[in-house]
């Protein structure tokens, strides 16, 4: 072979290779990503040239990876545009190290994240794993001479003629002894799957195409069906439940961005601080950590983002701080808001089906992002005890316009139901419906099971209660809503008894002529003496009911302000919330049990057999009534449960004696 040239790569220092090997790249494995990316670029350039110059039909583009364990070599070949000797000098010897001195000075003095891949160093990542790198290339140009370039990791290179006859380029690496893992088939397959799976060119290894090639996020949403998105999601996240909905991102101004983001079903143990969105640059995998791009409240989303405009450091291993990143984050949040708005307007039933999981994103986003809050504030819904109308086809059609200018025709029902028949409403609708009964007051429930007694009491009197039973509701969102609706008061069903639940005309205030005490005073005194606990605030009130036995004989109440203060203190101190010693015990004077207990205490119940009633039995029943009220609010501790069981046995024994 005829030697065309020998010389030194145009740099003024020999420190560049140690920097590449030890500082620029944290993961040696990315060398294969860079070589394959260069090969894809070469094929793309050939397609462009062929179209402009009319080169005619080209063979199918492909990239072939080969290993030779005996010679310790790994090669990456493409049938792309190829290079001439002058182009090798320009692109390999000069461009890669243009302004090398300036580069080294900046790298040594400044944050390396400020260096955003302007130096064409991708090819030279090969020297992290290779002791020698060779390039065999033949340009597409007619009559071009094939050339061979070789470098051993020093600033010296050799460029000579080659007898290669096939257009394209082969890069061959002779691996260092400590990097021989890259000769293993499983390792090559894993790297291609990770970094190059969605590149549009077939990547072959051991006679098999390794990559999927189709990047769904680059396609037009109009050409895709729901099953396409679901299949893509299952491919990315196998063995997971199907997503609730998705958003297809596609913009070319003021930055290029494509992507598909999925709303997954949220599991109780989901880590909302770690993202599962994959970042690509021109279909090449970069990172699975997009915290800088994705707003905090959207981190649990899954999917793909792809943008050549996202500023990366030299190794593409991390993002740099840049205004473009913030603008992309704003764009993503806005598109998410648009998608939710369209679903809410077009298909309310589907929106409600997804709400249990999607609602967490929406509420958290409203807390974190003022712009997002403005977008979705009318989309926030709550399950309600009211029986509201379902969505019907007869609803009027209106136009809904998004921030991007898209317009949907949609129905606008005031309320709707889910598949189980539960009704959902917005807070605004709730306040309007209940203005006459309790203006600017919202009754809510955080635990339908524990608060079932209270809920039933409200429902029996036709009072509407909202379910606010997620973690974000109880700790953050209710205070947020009170700030947004500054004249509105939120009251949990077990915090206070609404006046319409009480019967003020009940004869409970009749004065006993023998003691000159009202009936209510007598009942209160009876329980105060029996329980003998000054921290229990005993109140006597008559609860409305068509059937008095359908209401509880006693109820525990925790005032709203006191309970919230305790909950916030426990949250901040990361302590378990305990039941407070100070609380309210409401005795329902309308319940027959309470009336019987009062009569029993006065010796007015005549028994034909057995011993006469005693103060001991009255005391046992008072404690029993209190424990029953307590058990509707919380589980008894071991000592409390032991005492309750013993007392129950005593009461039953006394009542069944003959």
Is 635 in the same domain as 521? yes
Rounded (5°) CA angle 158-161-162? 110
Q: Tell which wins on pLDDT, 230 or 254.
A: 230
Residues 552-600: tens digit of each pLDDT? 899 999 888 888 888 777 777 777 777 788 899 999 998 889 988 888 8
- The pTM assigned to this predicted structure is 0.78
Domain count, the chain: 3
490 in any annotated domain: no
Where is the domain boundary, 401, 421, 441? 421
| 27: its two tokens | 């993961």
C-beta of residue 261 within 8 angstroms of C-beta of residue 247: yes
Closest CA to 79 of 144, 140, 143, 31: 140
Query: How far apart, in whole angstroms, are the C-alpha atoms of residue 142 and residue 639?
Result: 94
Residue 408 burial by Cβ neighbours in a 10 Å radius (0-12, 13-18, 19+): middle
Closest CA to 630 of 548, 561, 553: 553
| Total Cβ atoms within 10 A of residue 264 | 19
Q: State the chain's mean pLDDT as an integer.
A: 82
Is 407 in the same domain as 508? no
Is 346 in the same domain as 393? yes
Where is the domain boundary, 209, 229, 264? 209
SS3 label, residue 73:
strand
69 in any annotated domain: yes
439 in any annotated domain: no
Going by their DSSP bridges, the two strands 147-151 and 130-138 should be labelled as antiparallel
473 in any annotated domain: no
Largest CA distance in the chain: 129
Is 9 in the same domain as 43? yes
C-beta of residue 38 within 8 angstroms of C-beta of residue 179: no
Is 264 in the same domain as 366? yes
Residues 36-72: tens digit of each pLDDT? 998 998 998 898 888 888 777 788 999 999 999 999 9
Where residue 382 sits, what CATH number does that domain have? 3.30.230.80
455 in any annotated domain: no
- Going by pLDDT thresholds of 50, 70 and 90, the confidence category of residue 271 is low
C-beta of residue 338 within 8 angstroms of C-beta of residue 268: no
Residue 410 confidence (pLDDT): 33
Is 114 in the same domain as 245? no
Is 272 in the same domain as 372? yes
Where is the domain boundary, 421, 446, 461? 421
Where residue 569 sits, what CATH number does that domain have? 1.20.120.790
Helices (H) and strands (E) counted in the chain, each on its own, are: 18, 25
Kindly state the average pLDDT of the residues 351-374. Answer: 90
Is 39 in the same domain as 89? yes
99 in any annotated domain: yes
Is 255 in the same domain as 374? yes
Is 204 in the same domain as 221? no
Is 559 in the same domain as 642? yes
143 in any annotated domain: yes
pLDDT at residue 658 greater than cutoff 60: no
pLDDT at residue 199 greater than cutoff 80: yes
434 in any annotated domain: no
Where residue 97 sits, what CATH number does that domain have? 3.30.565.10
Is 366 in the same domain as 409? yes
Going by their DSSP bridges, the two strands 489-492 and 441-445 should be labelled as parallel
φ/ψ of residue 283, rounded to 5: 70, 5
74-85 residues labelled b (16+ CB within 10 A) or e (exposed)? bbbbbbbbbbbb
Torsion angle defined by CA atoms of residues 566, 571, 575 and 579, in that order, rounded to the nearest 10 degrees: 30
Closest CA to 138 of 115, 119, 164: 164
C-beta of residue 365 within 8 angstroms of C-beta of residue 373: yes
Give me the domain span that covers residue 628: 502-656
| 342: its two tokens | 């369209």
């Amino acid at each position: 072979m005829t030697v065309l040239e020998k010389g030194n790569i145009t740099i003024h220092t020999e420190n560049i290779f140690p920097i590449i090997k030890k500082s620029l790249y944290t993961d040696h494995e990315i060398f294969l990503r860079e070589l394959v990316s260069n090969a894809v670029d070469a094929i793309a350039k050939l397609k462009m040239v062929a179209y402009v110059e009319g080169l005619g039909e080209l063979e199918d583009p492909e990239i072939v990876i080969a290993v030779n364990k005996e010679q310790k070599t790994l090669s990456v070949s493409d049938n792309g545009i190829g290079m001439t000797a002058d182009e090798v000098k320009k692109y390999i010897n000069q461009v890669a190290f243009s302004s090398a001195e300036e580069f080294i000075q900046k790298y040594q003095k400044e944050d390396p994240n400020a260096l955003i891949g302007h130096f064409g160093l991708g090819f030279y990542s090969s020297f992290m794993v290779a002791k020698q790198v060779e390039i065999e290339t033949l340009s597409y140009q007619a009559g071009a001479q094939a050339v061979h370039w070789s470098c051993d990791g020093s600033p010296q290179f050799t460029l000579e003629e080659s007898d290669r006859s096939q257009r394209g380029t082969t890069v061959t690496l002779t691996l260092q002894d400590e990097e021989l893992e890259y000769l293993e088939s499983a390792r090559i397959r894993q790297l291609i799957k990770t970094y190059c799976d969605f590149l549009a060119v077939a990547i072959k290894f051991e006679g098999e195409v390794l990559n999927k090639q189709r990047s769904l996020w680059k396609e037009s949403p109009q050409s895709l069906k729901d099953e396409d998105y679901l299949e893509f999601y299952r491919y990315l996240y196998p063995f997971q439940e199907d997503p609730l909905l998705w958003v297809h991102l596609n913009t070319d101004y003021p930055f290029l961005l494509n992507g598909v983001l999925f709303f997954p079903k949220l599991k109780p143990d989901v880590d909302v601080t770690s993202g599962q969105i994959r970042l690509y640059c021109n279909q090449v995998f970069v990172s699975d950590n997009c915290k800088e791009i994705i707003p905090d409240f959207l981190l649990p989303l899954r999917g793909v983002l792809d943008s050549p405009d996202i500023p990366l450091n030299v190794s593409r291993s991390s993002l740099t701080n840049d205004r473009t990143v913030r603008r992309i984050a704003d764009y993503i949040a806005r598109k998410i808001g648009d998608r939710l708005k369209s679903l809410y307007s077009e298909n309310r039933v589907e929106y409600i089906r997804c709400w249990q999981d999607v609602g967490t994103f929406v509420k958290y986003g409203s807390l974190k992002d003022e712009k997002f809050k403005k977008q979705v504030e009318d989309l926030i819904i709550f399950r309600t005890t009211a029986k509201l109308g379902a969505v019907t086809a007869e609803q009027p059609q209106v136009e809904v316009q998004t921030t991007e200018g898209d317009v949907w025709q949609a129905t606008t029902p005031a309320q709707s139901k889910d598949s189980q028949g539960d009704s959902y409403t917005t807070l605004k609708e709730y306040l309007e419906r209940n203005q006459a009964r309790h203006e600017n007051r919202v009754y809510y429930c955080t635990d339908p099971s524990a608060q079932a007694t209270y809920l039933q009491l409200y429902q029996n009197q036709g009072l509407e209660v909202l379910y606010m039973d997620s973690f974000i509701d109880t700790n953050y969102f209710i205070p947020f809503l009170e700030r947004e609706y500054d004249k509105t008061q939120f009251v949990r069903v077990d915090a206070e008894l609404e006046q319409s639940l009480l019967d003020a005309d009940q004869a409970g205030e009749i004065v006993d002529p023998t003691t000159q005490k009202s009936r209510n005073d007598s009942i209160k005194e009876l329980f105060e003496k029996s329980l003998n606990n000054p921290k229990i605030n005993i109140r006597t009130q008559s609860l409305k009911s068509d059937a008095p036995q359908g209401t509880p004989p006693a109820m525990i109440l925790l005032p709203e302000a006191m309970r919230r203060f305790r909950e916030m203190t426990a949250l901040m101190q990361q302590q378990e919330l305990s039941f407070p010693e100070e609380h309210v015990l409401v005795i329902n004077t309308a319940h027959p049990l309470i009336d019987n207990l009062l009569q029993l205490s006065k010796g007015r119940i005549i028994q034909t057999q057995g011993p006469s009633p005693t103060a001991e039995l009255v005391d046992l029943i008072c404690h029993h009534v209190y424990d029953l009220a307590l058990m509707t609010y919380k589980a008894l501790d071991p000592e409390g449960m032991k005492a309750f069981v013993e007392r129950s046995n005593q009461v039953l024994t006394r009542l069944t004696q003959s």
